[in-house]
Each structure stands twice: as structure tokens, then as C-alpha cells.
Amino acid sequence: MATGINNMNKNNFTQNWPDILFKLIVTAITAFAFLCVLYPIYFVIIASFSDSTLVNQGKVVLYPKGISLYGYKQIFKKPEIWNGYKNTIIYSFFGTVLNLAVTLPAAYVLSRKTFRARNIIMKLFVITMYFNGGMIPTYMLIKDLRMLDSPMVMIIFGAVNVYNLIITRTFFETSIPDELYEAAALDGCSHFRYFSTIVLPLSKAVIAVIMLYYLVGHWNDFFSALLYLNSDKYQPLQIVLRNILLLNQAMAGTTGSSAGAGAGAYAQQYADQIKFGVIIVSTIPVLCVYPFIQKYFEKGVMIGAVKG
């Protein structure tokens, strides 16, 4: 009996070894890809408080060397940082709320097959993905709307992203059965009530995905502030960090008097600390948000890929 069991196990292994080999290869490739993605993030973290000279010499690989918090001290000692954080949080929060308030109803309307003009309107939306007015006409438009040097330009400008609109419309078309509306309509439910009480609760995945897209877009919005904001009190975090980085580079390149050269050399020694510290300061808040919506994000990335 034992011999029969051993022979059966050998036969199963012989038959399944291609599957086992495939799983091992896939696991190895996945682990390698994970390390390729993880290590740059890890390196930025350890380099942000390591001696820049050792970093440039390639001696900082797996753990920090010459540990110093000079970079973070230089960043956080400036009051503009906290003002920039406040402005960016305000722009990101209210901008994302506005984006969702416009995108979700628009996507719902465009997903309704009974709406005859939806194909024409959708084509007009898609055209804007390929053509736009250009930088100067857009600047003149913002100026005519009296939103120059106003925080409203960071919230209202770009209220709809067509790519996110297409994602949301596709989700509504493929994941919300038409029979739900027919049943609701029999009970006298209007489109507005159906959208707010049935569609939105069933669309948590897509809402989380586009919310993350919009949130990251507002958080990293650098160019709009550079073009349309002049007052320091309205500058977002990205502009503040850019100014700190440029100032540090200018100090690092200082030449002339012995005192100036000494200050420049000292700044040069810790230049990379500030550079990498800027990356950490600007990305950590968004990374902290992601775990709370990860489960919805994993569902949302498959939107429209599987239908049934």
C-alpha cells in the first residue's frame, strides 16, 4: 500500500512539474520586480539622512552612513513649509471634492443609453484630450476670469479630467445593471435619487480610484502654481520645496570669499540630503493615504477589463 502511495505521488509530481516550474519562475520574476520598485524608494529614504559625499561615492547602498538630519532641519525650519502644506491640503481637498462632484454626475449621464446626445458630447470631451487652447490663450482666459494670483485657480482649473470621466462612465455602463434602474423607476425613483442612493453606494471602487488620481494630481500640481500664482502666501508645497532646493543649490555653488566658500562647501556636503529630503516630504502624505483605499484601488484597476 505504501508503495502504491509513493508511486502515485511520483506520478502526480511528474505530471505537475511544469506547473510547479512555472510558479517558481513567476514568483522569482515577481520578487525581482518588487525589489526593483522597492529599492529606489528605500535608497531615497536612507540617502536623505546620509552624508552626501558618501552617497556620491556610492558607499551608501544598504544602510545609511554619516547620519545627519541637516537636510530635514533645513527644510522644516522654514515657516513657508507649513504654509505650503496648509495650502496644498486645502487645494487637494476642495479640488478633489469639486472633481468628484462634476465627474460622477457627468459620467452617469453619459452612461445612460437613453440619452441620445451622449455620443456627440463624449466625442467633444475626447477632442480636448488631443487639442487645447495652448499656454498663452489659457493664461489670458484665467486672467479674464480674474483668477490670477487667486487660490481658486488651483481648485477650479481642470475640474474634469476626461480620462477619469471615461473610466467612471465605463464602470457605470458595465457594472451597474440596467435592471436596477427599471426596478427603481417602477417604484417612482427619479434619476437623481437613483444616482445618489443606488449608483454611488455600488461604485465605491471607481470613486476611490478616481479620487486617488485627482488627489495625487492636485498634490503634485506644480505648473499651475508656477504660471498663475505670484503671492508667496498662496504657494503650494511643491513650489516651496522647489525654492528651497534652488536656494540650496545656489549656496552649494557659492564661491568668492573664504567664508562664502566654507558655507558653500558645507552646503555642498549635505546638498543631496536636502534633495532627497524634499522627495520624502512631498510624497509621504500621499503614501499614507493609499493604504486606506488600497482594497478599492485593486478592484478599480480592473474596471472594464472583465465583464459579466
> How many domains, the chain?
1
Cell of 4: 502504491
Residue 165 lies in a domain: yes
Residue 41 lies in a domain: no
Question: Would you say 52 and 35 are in contact if contact means Cβ atoms under 8 Å apart?
Answer: no
DSSP 299: H
Q: Is the dihedral of CA 75, 218, 199, 302 positive or negative?
A: negative
pTM of the model: 0.76
Residue 147 lies in a domain: yes
Long-range contacts of 300-303, Cβ-Cβ distance < 8 Å, separation of 24 or more? 300/171, 300/205, 300/206, 300/208, 300/209, 301/209, 303/167, 303/170, 303/171, 303/174, 303/175, 303/205, 303/206, 303/209
Gap between the Cα atoms of 111 and 117, Å rounded: 11
pLDDT digits (tens, 9 = 90+) for 128-168: 888 887 888 888 888 888 888 888 998 988 888 898 898 88
Residue 262 lies in a domain: no
Cell of 219: 498634490
Residues spanned by the domain of 146: 78-251+271-277
**153 against 307, higher pLDDT:** 153
- What pLDDT shows up at residue 306? 47
- In the structure, how many helices (H) and strands (E) does the chain have? 15, 0
CATH number at residue 88: 1.10.3720.10
Residue 113 lies in a domain: yes
Residue 301 lies in a domain: no
> Would you tell me the crossing angle of helices 237-252 and 258-269 to the nearest 10 degrees?
130
Residue 122 lies in a domain: yes
Residue 286 lies in a domain: no
